[in-house]
């Protein structure tokens, strides 16, 4: 029986049997096994997958022009057949390729200089769509370097028709894909199940337009959408098709997230840990400062969440230095006050140690027992920590992901805090579960994330946002410097050190050696930081091969032999052992190192309030969000911070849009949005380790409105029908589980 899901190809050719969604791509008329191999590389295994393989772009050719109406210098396009091709070499390395294109009205000449590869494209007898600006040469019109699109025999192109452009692999031609999608559209578009019923399409359209249902026409039906997306009948119809398909894609995602959100809360059990007024007062007493309004609000939300008998799933996002640790401390103490344990996980060992220290300091003179578990413990030490966690001899356990390796058991775990936005996996979650009881979860994110990403990658979490900075902070000044400023800048740095301050010097990579470009191993750096370029990544290979990339090791030597020779300069990077790193960090924290030359290893969380000056070398090699994280290191104290950027590139840094945005903007959320627009969503999603399948047609930098509407309607749907079990939701449910069942651990379609 043919599989109508379009997932498993059917195995046998069925001549004469009509196509179904599940028909193996090989058996679609005109494909065959050679082409099928190429199509599979595009992820097209079945006819159904071809139907949902959407164009990546469109060509909007000008209406076809009759040959008699071609005018010198006026853009035009026409369809014809190549009747002659000749290539002539004038001198070595120079060639002229001429082709004659004829149709019923006459002939034109195409000319290509030094493009011998064109011979491959321009075969005699091919039908082509030519567009460009013709010139009169003698009695004939000539196109020099026109755009040429190959057309299939029966393909109608001109007359202003919009042509789809598909992603290809080598060996596959645009025309072949067009023909394939035309075939599957003709055979299958009619029979596709409509999963968005008319009232839903009307509601969605109205919300997207911001009007009431009835005042705008509903999103178009699936058959029309599929037809128009592959063979647009016009710009408007194409736009309507895109909108419908974008909504559907985002809606299915948001339904999946809504189902998961619901399951993670109401379907699971967690210990209720309410902040009674006594507990609340005691915890707040421990804070040495007045909380900001955002902190107060976040703490209230955390308290409400933890009071319930199902797990909290909350993301606290706030810029560097916005005071997220306080929220974590509150949650931890709330758990401990109720006799439960808490774990706190950090992405790096350096950061775990720092959290351990901060907590230990904050909880001095209390009975809270705090343990540290990280990769560098000896087996014996580790066993001892694990034993104490299991017997309840430790109240708070701080560590890296190493926490979750092996068989960790807690006597009574009530809370799990995850610092930095590691997308916390399902299996990791299960490791912390005790029988049927789950702990509460609190995720801290120091990288402000664009709203649309929060709604997708973290769409299953509730979000608290810290926008304000704690009062009494110094300002940070950011400078974009010309190369000529270097001497002056180092004198400025020296002055600050003379005043007792400390300085960071950040470089894009550890060594000059371009092959070993990576800094610390992935687990130790920014593996979970979606918005950062990897340390030492070379975005511009040409520039890199011509010029030396500034490195920590070389800069370290230059500075201590040159402009900062009178000061204590230290070196910290990801290729040092954990022990070396820890020692260096400690010496810097104690002020014994005055200038720390480093890489982006310091990006995540290092807290040395006395460090107020930062030099970033090779700044063009860092991502925008990463630069912002770095800058956060010098905005920790009451003193003003100073950040100066130098670039390796010859061009003035002012020409670099990213760096300019950076120096002019200090709001982390604004930076995140800008970064997102400059880099695109793929990057963010890709580095998130979220495991989310890529979007087929939606674009999170562009489709924010549709996303918001999809999220709203999805939530309303799940509020009424938690498991999408209404018969009318059957089709949607199938899509939700097929696409996101695994990633979001929703299980199989019932």
Residues engaged in binding Mg ion (CB under 5 A): 605
> Binding to ligand ADP (CB under 6 A): which residues in 288-327?
289-292, 295, 318, 320-326
Give whichever of 231 and 295 is closer to ligand ADP, judged by the CB atom: 295
Nearer to Mg ion, 271 or 347 (CB): 347
Nearer to Mg ion, 2 or 605 (CB): 605
Contact 494, 567 (CB under 8 A): yes
Binding mask 260-289 for ligand ADP (x = CB under 6 A): -----------------------------x
470 binds, among Mg ion, ligand ADP, none (CB under 5 to 8 A by kind): ligand ADP
Binding to ligand ADP by residue 337, rule CB under 6 A?
Answer: no
Tokens of 266: 């109401």
Select 245 or 606, whichever has its Cβ closest to Mg ion: 606
- Going by C-alpha positions, the residue among 446, 353, 398 that lies closest to residue 635 is 446
We find the least distance from the C-beta atom of residue 614 to ligand ADP, in angstroms, to be 16
Beta strands in 145-274 (DSSP E): 147-151, 163-165
Of 317 and 599, nearer to ligand ADP (C-beta) is 317
Minimum distance between the CB of residue 225 and ligand ADP, rounded to whole angstroms? Answer: 44
The minimum distance between CB 287 and Mg ion, in angstroms, equals: 15
Rounded least distance, CB 607 to ligand ADP, Å: 6
Strand order in the sheet with 140-144: 134-137, 140-144, 106-113, 95-103, 76-89, 127-132, 147-151
Interface residues for ligand ADP in 420-459 (CB under 6 A)? 446
Q: Is the Cβ of residue 213 or residue 474 nearer to ligand ADP in the bound state?
A: 474
Count of residues making up the chain: 750
Nearer to ligand ADP, 290 or 657 (CB): 290
| Half-sphere CA count of 390, side-chain side, radius 13 A | 9
Site string for ligand ADP, 656-695 (x = CB under 6 A): ----------------------------------------
Report, in angstroms and rounded to the nearest whole number, the Rg of the chain calculated over CA atoms: 31
- How far is 206 from 219, CA to CA, in rounded Å? 9
Query: Rounded to whole angstroms, how far apart are CA atoms 406 and 286?
Result: 35
Rounded to a whole number of angstroms, the minimum distance from the CB of residue 347 to Mg ion is 11
The SS3 of residue 632 is: helix
φ, ψ for residue 105, nearest 5 deg: -90, -15
Q: Rounded to the nearest whole angstrom, what is the least distance from the CB of residue 351 to Mg ion in the complex?
A: 8
CB of 591 to ligand ADP, least distance (A): 17
606-645 footprint of ligand ADP as x/- string (CB under 6 A): -x----------------------------x---------
Which one of Mg ion, ligand ADP, none is in contact with 317 (Cβ closer than 5 to 8 A by kind)? none
Helix (H, G, I), strand (E, B) or coil at 571: strand
Angle at 163 between CA 160 and CA 169, to 5 degrees: 160
- Spell out, one character per residue from 705 to 744, where the chain touches ligand ADP: x when CB under 6 A holds, - when not: ----------------------------------------
Closest CA to 349 of 400, 421, 418: 400
Give 23 or 445: the residue with its C-beta nearer to ligand ADP.
445
Give the pairing type, strands 313-318 and 140-144.
unpaired
Residue 328 CB, shortest distance to ligand ADP, in Å, is: 8
Half-sphere exposure of 77 (CA within 13 A, CB side): 18
Q: For residues 275 and 605, which CB has a smaller minimum distance to Mg ion in the complex?
A: 605
DSSP assignment string, 392-453: T--SEEEE-GGGGSS----SSEEEEEEES-----HHHHHHT-BTTBPPEEEEEESS---HHH
Neighbours of 338 (CB within 10 A): 18
Main-chain dihedrals φ then ψ at residue 613, nearest 5 degrees = -120, 135
Residue owning tokens 């976040």: 298
462-481 mask for ligand ADP (x: CB under 6 A)? --------x-----------
Closer residue to ligand ADP in complex, CB, 325/663 = 325
Binding region for ligand ADP (CB under 6 A): 289-292, 295, 318, 320-326, 446, 470, 607, 636
């Amino acid at each position: 029986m043919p599989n109508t899901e379009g997932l498993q190809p059917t195995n046998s050719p069925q001549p004469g049997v009509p196509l179904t969604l599940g028909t193996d791509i090989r058996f679609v008329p005109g494909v065959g096994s050679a082409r099928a191999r190429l199509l599979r590389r595009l992820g097209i295994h079945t006819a159904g997958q071809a139907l949902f393989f959407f164009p990546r772009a469109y060509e909007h050719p000008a209406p076809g022009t009759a040959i008699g109406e071609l005018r010198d210098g006026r853009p035009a396009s026409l369809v014809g057949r190549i009747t002659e091709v000749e290539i002539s070499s004038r001198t070595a390395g120079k060639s002229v390729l001429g082709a004659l294109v004829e149709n019923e009205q006459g002939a034109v000449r195409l000319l290509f200089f030094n493009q011998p590869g064109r011979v491959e494209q321009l075969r005699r007898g091919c039908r082509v769509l030519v567009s460009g600006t013709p010139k009169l040469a003698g009695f004939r019109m000539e196109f020099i370097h026109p755009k040429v699109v190959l057309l299939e025999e029966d393909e109608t192109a001109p007359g202003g028709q919009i042509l789809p452009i598909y992603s290809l692999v080598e060996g596959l031609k645009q025309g072949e894909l067009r023909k394939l999608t035309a075939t599957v559209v003709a055979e299958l578009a009619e029979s596709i199940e409509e999963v968005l019923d008319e009232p839903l399409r009307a509601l969605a359209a109205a919300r997207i337009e911001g009007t009431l249902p009835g005042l705008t026409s509903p999103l178009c039906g699936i058959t029309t959408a599929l037809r128009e997306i592959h063979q647009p009948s016009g710009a408007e119809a194409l736009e309507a098709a895109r909108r419908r398909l974008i909504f559907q894609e985002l809606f299915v995602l948001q339904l999946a997230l809504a189902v998961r959100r619901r399951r993670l809360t109401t379907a699971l059990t967690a210990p209720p840990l309410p902040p009674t007024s006594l507990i609340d007062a005691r915890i707040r007493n421990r804070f040495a400062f007045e909380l900001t309004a955002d902190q107060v609000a976040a703490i209230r939300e955390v308290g409400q969440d933890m009071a319930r008998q199902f797990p909290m799933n909350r993301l606290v996002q706030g810029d560097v230095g916005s005071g997220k640790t306080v929220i974590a401390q509150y949650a931890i103490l709330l758990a401990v006050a109720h006799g439960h344990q808490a774990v706190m996980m950090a992405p790096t060992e350096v950061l775990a140690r720092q959290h351990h220290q901060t907590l230990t300091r904050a909880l001095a003179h209390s009975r809270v027992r705090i343990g540290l578990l990280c990769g560098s413990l000896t087996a014996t030490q580790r066993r001892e920590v694990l034993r104490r966690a299991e017997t309840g001899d430790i109240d708070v356990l701080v560590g890296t992901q190493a926490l979750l390796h092996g068989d960790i058991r807690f006597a009574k775990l009530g809370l799990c805090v995850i610092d930095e936005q590691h997308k916390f996996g399902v299996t990791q979650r299960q490791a912390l579960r005790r029988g049927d009881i789950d702990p509460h979860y609190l995720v801290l994110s120091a990288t402000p994330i664009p709203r649309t990403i929060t709604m997708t990658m973290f769409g299953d979490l509730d979000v608290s946002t810290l926008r304000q900075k704690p009062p009494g902070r110094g300002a940070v000044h950011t400078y974009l410097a010309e190369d000529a400023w270097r001497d002056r800048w180092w004198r400025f740095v020296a002055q600050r050190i003379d005043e007792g301050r400390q300085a960071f010097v950040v470089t894009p990579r550890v060594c000059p050696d371009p092959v070993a470009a990576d800094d610390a191993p992935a687990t130790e750096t920014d593996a979970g930081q979606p918005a950062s370029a990897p340390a030492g990544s070379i975005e511009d290979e040409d520039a890199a091969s011509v010029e030396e990339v500034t490195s920590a090791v070389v800069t370290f030597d230059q500075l201590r032999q040159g402009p900062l020779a009178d000061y204590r300069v230290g070196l910290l990077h990801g290729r040092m052992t954990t022990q070396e790193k820890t020692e260096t960090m400690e010496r810097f924290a104690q002020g014994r190192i005055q200038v720390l030359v480093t890489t982006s290893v310091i990006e995540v969380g290092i807290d040395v309030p006395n460090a107020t000056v930062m030099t970033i070398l090779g700044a063009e090699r860092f991502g925008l969000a990463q630069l912002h994280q770095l800058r956060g290191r010098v905005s920790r104290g009451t003193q003003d911070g100073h950040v100066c950027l130098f670039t390796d590139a010859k061009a003035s840094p002012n020409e670099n849009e990213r760096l300019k945005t950076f120096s002019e903007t200090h709001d982390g959320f604004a930076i995140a949005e800008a970064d997102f627009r400059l880099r695109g969503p793929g990057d963010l999603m890709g580095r998130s380790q979220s495991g989310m399948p890529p979007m087929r047609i939606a674009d999170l930098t562009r489709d924010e409105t549709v996303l918001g509407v999809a999220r709203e309607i999805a939530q309303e749907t799940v509020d009424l029908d938690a498991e999408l079990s209404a018969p009318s939701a059957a089709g949607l449910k199938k899509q939700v589980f097929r696409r996101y069942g695994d990633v979001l651990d929703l299980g199989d379609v019932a």
